[in-house]
A = this chain, B = another copy of it.
Amino acid sequence: MTSPAPQPAGDRPAPPPRRRPGGRTARVRTQVLDAVLAELGEAGYDGLTMEAVAARAGVHRATVYRRWGDVGGLLADVLDAAGDDDWQPPDTGSLRGDLAALNQEIQDALTAQPPIVAALIAASFRSEKADRAQRRLWEDRYARCEVIAARAVRRGELPPDTDARRLLIAATAPLYHQLVLLRTPPDPRLPDQAATTAALAASAGAFTESPPVGDI
C-alpha cells in the first residue's frame, strides 16, 4: 500500500477492469500489466518492448498492440490501474504521525526492489502518456491525503484555513528530492524528519493564507 508514490499492481490483487468486469478482458489486462511490471523491474524503460510484454504475458502480440498501442500506453495503463484501489492515507491520531507514516510509505516505495516505482517515474521523462498518467496518479494520491489536514484541523492541531495541498507537498517533497533527483542513499530518519518539519511549520501557520512571518 502506498501513497503519493504510484503503487503498481504487482503485489496486490489486480484492480477491477474498466469495462467488462471479470472475464477474459480483465484477465488479459491483469496478465499484461503484471508482465509490464516484471519487465520494467528487470530491464527498465530501455528494455521494455511490446514483444517482450506479450511473450511474458502469454498474450498475442496483436492484442497488445491493438489495446495499448505502444509502450507509453502500457505504462499509462499500469499507472491508471495503480490508482484503481482503495488506498487511504495512514490515520495515526496526530498530524505528525500521519505525515511520518505517509513519508515512510513513500520512502519504502521509492527504494523498493525491484525499483518499479522509480522506473515508472523515470519513464515519465520519456513518454508523454506515462507522464500524464503519473501526474493523474499523484493528483489522486495527494487529493486523498488532504484528509490528513482536515483531521488535524478537527483535532485543533491546525488553523482552519490551512492549505492542505501545500502542507502535503512540503511534507513529502524532501523524500522525492533526495531519493529521485539527488539520489542520496535512503536515510531512515528522513520520513520522520520531513514530517516533523512540516508539522512544526504548519503549527506556526506556514500554510495559511497569510502566514505569520513576523520577524523571520
Contacts and interface: CB of A to CB of B under 8 A. Distances in A.
A194 interface: yes
A211 interface: yes
Contacts of A66: none
Contacts of A166: 193, 197
Interface of A: 94-96, 121-122, 125-126, 131, 135, 138, 157, 166, 169-170, 172-174, 176-178, 180-183, 193-194, 196-201, 203-207, 211, 213, 216
9 contacts: A95-B216, A125-B125, A126-B126, A170-B194, A196-B216, A197-B206, A200-B201, A200-B211, A201-B206
Given A169-B174, A200-B216, A203-B204, 19 more contacts: A96-B213, A131-B183, A135-B182, A135-B183, A138-B181, A138-B182, A157-B216, A169-B177, A170-B174, A170-B194, A173-B177, A176-B176, A176-B181, A197-B206, A197-B211, A199-B216, A200-B204, A201-B206, A203-B216
